[in-house]
Amino acid sequence: MKKILHWLQRQFSNIIKGFLVLISIFLLVQLFPRQPGFDYEYQQARPWMYEDLIAPFNFAILKTQAELEKEQEEVMAGFLPFFSRRPAVKESMIQAFKNAFEETWKEKYGENDEPALKMRSKEAGINILTHLYDAGIVFLDESFRDKPVNFQIRVVEANVARSTVLGAMYNIQEAYLYVISVLDDMGDRADTRLLQPLLEKTLSHNVFYDEELTERTIAAEMDNIPLSRGMVQEGEKIISKGELVSQETYQILESFRAEYQKQIGDAAMQTLLYAGQFVLVSISMIVMLLFLFFFRRDVFSDNRKVLLILLSVLLMVIMTSLVIRSNIDYIYLVPVCLVPVIIRAFFDNRLALYIHITTIILIGFLIPRSFEFVFIQFIAGIIAILSMASLRRRSQLFVTVALIFATYSAVYFGLSLAHTGSFENLYWTDFAYFAIGAFLTLFAYPLIYLFERLFGMPTDFSLLELADTNNSLLRNLSLQAPGTFQHSLQVANLSEEAILAIGGNSLLTRTGALYHDIGKMKNPQYFTENQIAEFNPHDEINYKESARIIINHVIGGIELGRKHNLPEYIIDFIRTHHGTTTARYFYTMQVKESQDEEVSKADFIYPGPRPFSKETAVVMMADSVEAASRSLGKPDEKKIGQLVDQIIDTQVQEKQFDNADITFKDISTVKGIFKRMLLNIYHVRVAYPSMG
């Protein structure tokens, strides 16, 4: 049991890594379509590369989208919208006229009611209303107001639809004018003054646009449009080997693909499809892990970094899957180049390219005939990575976006010409999609910021901000401890040059070196580089207290860094730049002063930890060498060489670099660079051999 627990403890990191990968594989497979594959790849105007294709079953030839749209347009062009006549309006308005007529006539004529005139007037009013409502007083909304008088419609009354034109009916204004004109023609045969206001009050719309019936009928007619045209019989040859895929043949092949996938898409097939997809995704993820294991062991051993990579890949595949399910025409709106940009910000160019390739291969499983997509994204990803090869300014992201768009456009242009040999299949909307997709790559910036905070990992963007000597913490260092600030600048220069030679993050190394001694701001006068007078405050305290003050600049620097929200990867340089070395001068002086008394060495040792990366190891070397070089009276090539060798060899003997991934060859290279740079700093001439 103890052995099992001990094994689990040792393998805990790898178990977590495997768990993360399994979850990623499971989520990725869920995004894949459950349609069976098709064994043939083909493109219009390209030769058929397989053996003669014979139809294994009968299938209908599906119409193209353009053909369906054309037929839909024809249906709409000949479609007559529906209007509904409301008979109740006519009846209620005529009855209202009769009632109002009787009251008004009685008020005007009293007992002498002129029966003949009354009859003619009443009949005239009823006839006018009957004519208008029989013809129809139509209500026209904005969609019909500008239609010509000969625009055809269908009017429904008693479930019977009759065709007519808008000009055969009246709108409300025309009805008013009709009333006035008829009354004018009647002259004295009727009381027109009495009739006109009564008729105007009883005019109302009785024909209305029936939107529900119209849309229902349109939908029914659209559904009646056949989706296919013609049949291919079983045993009929579809295409011969070497034959060019014409537009018609291409549509037949598309129809064959659809019917093939439909016929074999049963439950058993779905299970096998799932299993096959699981195997493919698993292989892709395992190969990615093997790449990390053999070529980027530092990334493989850090589960935070592995999780960041998996999240980046998963995010892009999910985004692409959602777009495909919505409308595959929008596939180039997906900013696939986000992945290499994000990975490049945290890691290096080679890893960014490999993760990008893995991502587009996984996305390729989602897309039918994915070669073009994979090829375009592959080239665009390489260009994006190259544009960020030496990231030193935020504006480079905008240059990257422009280059991605240019790459998309150029590759798409070339592929279109190569496939069809003409400009007819160039769709300018695709260039708009490319522009939007490239622009969306700018979302890398907030995502990088989010990942920085989530995983506590450095990027060139954050390091550029931190390395700015005008920020508050470094400015305070230059004001409160100017000597330490100059020392930090020299250490930064030495460290950056050395790490470039042995391989490492130069920007991280430089930034860490700038902050490694910020703890000296608490008691700057106790450090030699800040003492401008002959007075030394150490002369007034004992050696043990002096050592405590000197050693505490590490602890003070950590506290100050956390107070100013410095990321942990910068604070690592503060806590490791002295490792577990000894404040040697004060310890030696304390031993001499104590003579026979025993001196506790623990009081003179820095708390550590020791450096655990190339970057922190190089800063430790540079810090010690630069500080010691200031004590050289008349520096020359020999003195500088001996000083560098002595200091770094002592650190090696004290095993300060045992936890860092740095080799003896790297250390030898660092020594040579320090010697050369210190010679330049102190303007020492190299001794040339004599000619005699």
CA angle 369, 375, 381 (to 5 degrees): 135
pLDDT at res. 489: 94
pLDDT band at 564 (very low <50, low <70, confident <90, very high): very high
The number of angstroms, rounded, from the C-alpha of 410 to the middle of its chain's C-alpha atoms is 22
Mean pLDDT of 601-626: 92
Token code pair at residue 522: 């608490």
Whole-number Å distance between alpha carbons of 432 and 455: 35
Which residues sit opposite 45 in a β-bridge? none
Token code pair at residue 232: 């291919």
Whole-number Å distance between alpha carbons of 369 and 392: 39
Token code pair at residue 93: 């308005």
pTM reported for the whole predicted model: 0.62
For the chain, the C-alpha Rg in angstroms (whole number) is 44
- Residues 258-278 as b/e (b if ≥16 CB within 10 A, e otherwise) read ebbeeeeeeeeeeeebeeebe
Asked if residue 417 has pLDDT above 80, the reply is no
Which residues sit opposite 59 in a β-bridge? 232
Asked if residue 635 has pLDDT above 90, the reply is no
Asked if residue 535 has pLDDT above 90, the reply is no
Domains and CATH numbers, the chain: 77-221 (no CATH), 268-455 (no CATH), 460-681 (1.10.3210)
Asked if residue 353 has pLDDT above 90, the reply is yes
pLDDT band at 392 (very low <50, low <70, confident <90, very high): low
pLDDT tens track for 483-519: 999 999 999 999 999 999 998 889 999 999 999 999 9
Q: To the nearest whole percent, how much of the chain has pLDDT over 90?
A: 43
H/E element, 518: none
pLDDT at res. 1: 67
pLDDT tens track for 327-338: 887 888 899 999
pLDDT at res. 676: 93
pLDDT tens track for 154-168: 999 888 899 999 989
pLDDT at res. 407: 93
Mean pLDDT of 551-559: 93
pLDDT tens track for 456-474: 888 888 888 899 888 889 9
pLDDT at res. 580: 93
Asked if residue 625 has pLDDT above 70, the reply is yes
Q: To the nearest whole percent, how much of the chain has pLDDT over 70?
A: 93
Asked if residue 431 has pLDDT above 90, the reply is no
pLDDT band at 31 (very low <50, low <70, confident <90, very high): confident
